[in-house]
Amino acid sequence: MKPENYPPTTIYDGETGYLLEWDKQSAVRVRPYKYNCQPTNKNDPKSGNWFFPSALSFLSHPLLAHLTPDQVQELLARNLVSFLEYTTLLEHRIVNRSVEHIVHNCLPVAVPHGMCMDALRIYTDEGYHAVMSADVAHQVSEIFGISQTTRQFSRISRLEALASGFQQQALGWFLIGFVSETAITKEFAKMGRSALVPAVHSMLMDHLSDEWKHSRCFVRMFSYLWPRLTRPEREFCATQLPVIIQECFRLDESLLERDLAALGLDSNVAQTISAERNNETANRLRAKNGASATLHALRECAFFSEPRYVANFAKHGLIDPAG
């Protein structure tokens, strides 16, 4: 699903770049700032959902069947705040850290000037996405009386810890950005199936319109790098990519337990739901489904022509053994 008024595809040229229409398409350049949530009446069901329910599959759990509509909306709002706070950190500490290695041509393969310029444009976009996310998170927190403390997100910490152990730092950070940017578009696309609060909808759609293009850029960058990498560098990619994908989709159940506790629910409820969502089978299925765009990109550049790479991804439950 593409956002409304999605710009036409731009022909990619390695020397001049892919984001050639950035000045005319990027949210930070052309989108009016329409993210004021304050006029929204949180108790009016006609205002829309505060987050897309399809992203919160646990809402259909029998143990939560007694929640009132107001409680459901508060739970959606709390998830929105967590999502936006996480996004702010992700943009700064993960995605732009990855992009820096492209901008400054630190990768093992020299990339064309156009790709470096695209990386600079992405860096700028991500900084603006952090502004949007932090602003709306603060507004929604004030509307619902949600305490905004400095929160740590285990996924951010796990990715940073993983990166710190890479033998090939620049290539490893690029892979993290590649997975993150190709996976996030599917998460955002869920919003199209839910009527959201207008200001939230505008903010997410503006973010999504940029992320579609970022995803394509990272895919094309990977496609450029892959045939030019040495055998050891390819082995590194084949080893680390499944691990990165799994880390990007592993849940932080402390967030769910915190939010349910804020609604006054018994801690056993949260622990029961968390245990069902965070088993190995569920984690593997979530990663396989969520990373479908990433896996498609790998297939397109003949990544899986090597049987050992197929076997490694199959071992992690990301693809079928046949590839």
Q: Would the pTM of this model clear 0.85, i.e. be above it?
A: yes
Read off the tokens for 16. Answer: 């001049």
Domain locations in the chain? 61-315
CATH number (3.40.50.2000, 1.10.620.20, 3.30.300.30, 3.40.47.10) of 61-315 reads 1.10.620.20
Name every residue whose Cβ is closer than 8 Å to that of residue 305 and which is 6 or more positions away in sequence.
none
Helix (H) or strand (E) holding 184, with range, is helix 169-189
Kindly give the confidence (pLDDT) of every residue in the chain, 323 residues in length, as a single tens digit, with 9 standing for 90 and above: 344 433 334 444 555 567 888 999 999 999 999 999 988 888 887 889 999 888 888 899 999 999 999 999 999 999 999 999 999 999 999 999 999 999 999 999 999 999 999 999 999 999 999 999 999 999 999 999 998 776 789 999 999 999 999 999 999 999 999 999 998 655 556 555 568 999 999 999 999 989 989 999 999 999 999 999 999 999 999 999 999 999 999 888 788 888 888 888 888 888 898 888 878 888 898 899 889 999 999 999 999 999 999 999 999 999 988 75
DSSP 83-142: HHHHHHHIIIIIIHHHHHHHHTT-SSSPPPHHHHHHHHHHHHHHHHHHHHHHHHHHHHHH
Name every residue whose Cβ is closer than 8 Å to that of residue 238 and which is 6 or more positions away in sequence.
303, 306, 308, 309, 312
